[in-house]
């Protein structure tokens, strides 16, 4: 048993090195999705993978309101351009925000698939193996939901499912990273206690909140 635990520990340590940046990429992709929702960017460019017939939309560097500057006032136009492009373009331009989210989503799915393929070659604990499979499945489902949401002009049901999927995907990634941490060898009973204690604490907290809310 000790030898098996040592082998699993080595595999988990090697996978954790790559699981951490993949988790960060998932978080970044989810954050970029918030800007898509905030700008209602999903209501534009409702095709995939092309945007207005191009891989990179022509409007990527367009600035909202830029045409409002008088054409005869070249100095004002240049000043406006320099003040409203650059880093703000990645947060305020619908085309840029949606394109960036697409790139991050495809990159995340590729990274998760690569992590899964690498993890399949390593000796891992059963829990980590389960979470690794779940991560790939959820990443595939999340990208599929995103594409379906885009192609159907963002219905509320699919949009809500896509947002919930982002939370689920990030939660699975956190669970995977947590399962790959270095821990001392414990018995089956000790492992069960470690697994169920957070869930039991959460349940107690919810029940306590319910009692305070409805009986105060």
Number of domains in the chain: 2
Is the pLDDT confidence value at 171 over 70?
A: yes
The CB-side HSE value for 23 (13 A sphere, CA atoms) comes to 18
Pick from 44, 5, 45: which is nearest to 183 by CA? 5
Is the pLDDT confidence value at 182 over 90?
A: no
Pick from 124, 126, 138, 142: which is nearest to 174 by CA? 138
Whether 114 and 206 map to the same domain: the answer is: no
Name the residue with higher pLDDT: 35 or 195: 35
Give the mean pLDDT of 15-22: 96
125-147, pLDDT tens digit by residue? 999 999 999 999 999 999 999 99
Is the pLDDT confidence value at 192 over 90?
A: no
Whether 103 and 129 map to the same domain: the answer is: yes
Whether 208 and 135 map to the same domain: the answer is: no
Is the pLDDT confidence value at 8 over 70?
A: no
DSSP 182: -
Whether 64 and 96 map to the same domain: the answer is: yes
Following DSSP, what letter does each residue of 124-168 receive, concatenated? Answer: --HHHHHHHHHHHHHHHHHHHHHHHHHHTT--HHHHHHHHHHHHH
Which residue shows structure tokens 């492992």? 191
Query: pLDDT band at residue 90, thresholds of 50, 70 and 90?
Result: confident
Residue 3 buriedness (CB in 10 A; 0-12 / 13-18 / 19+): exposed
Whether 87 and 29 map to the same domain: the answer is: yes
Q: What value does the CA radius of gyration of the chain take, rounded to a whole number of Å?
A: 23
Pick from 121, 114, 102, 127: which is nearest to 177 by CA? 127
Q: What is the pLDDT of residue 61?
A: 83
Give the mean pLDDT of 85-113: 92
Considering the entire predicted model, what is its pTM? 0.74
Whether 94 and 70 map to the same domain: the answer is: yes
Average pLDDT of the chain? 81
Whether 100 and 28 map to the same domain: the answer is: yes
Is the pLDDT confidence value at 207 over 90?
A: no
Residues with Cβ within 8 Å of residue 186, at least 6 apart in sequence: 194
Containing structural domain, residue 204: 187-216
Whether 41 and 114 map to the same domain: the answer is: yes
| C-alpha–C-alpha distance, residues 92 and 77, integer Å | 18
Q: What is the pLDDT of residue 103?
A: 97
């Amino acid at each position: 048993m000790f030898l098996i635990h040592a082998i699993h520990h080595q595999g988990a340590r090697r996978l954790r090195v790559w699981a951490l940046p993949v988790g960060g990429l998932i978080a970044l992709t989810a954050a970029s999705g918030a800007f898509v929702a905030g700008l209602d960017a999903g209501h534009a460019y409702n095709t995939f993978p092309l945007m207005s017939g191009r891989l990179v939309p022509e409007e990527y560097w367009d600035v909202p309101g830029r045409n409002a500057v008088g054409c005869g006032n070249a100095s004002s136009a240049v000043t406006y351009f320099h003040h409203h492009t650059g880093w703000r373009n990645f947060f305020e331009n619908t085309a840029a925000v949606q394109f960036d989210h697409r790139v991050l989503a495809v990159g995340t799915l590729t990274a998760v698939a690569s992590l899964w393929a690498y993890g399949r070659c390593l000796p891992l604990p059963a829990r980590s193996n389960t979470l690794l499979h779940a991560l790939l499945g959820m990443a595939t489902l999340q990208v599929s939901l995103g594409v379906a949401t885009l192609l159907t002009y963002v219905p509320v049901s699919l949009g809500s499912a896509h947002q919930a999927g982002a939370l689920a995907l990030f939660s699975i990634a956190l669970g995977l990273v947590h399962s790959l941490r270095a821990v001392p060898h414990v018995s089956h009973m000790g492992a069960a206690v470690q697994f169920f204690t957070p869930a039991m604490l959460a349940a107690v907290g919810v029940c306590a909140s319910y009692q305070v809310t409805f009986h105060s």
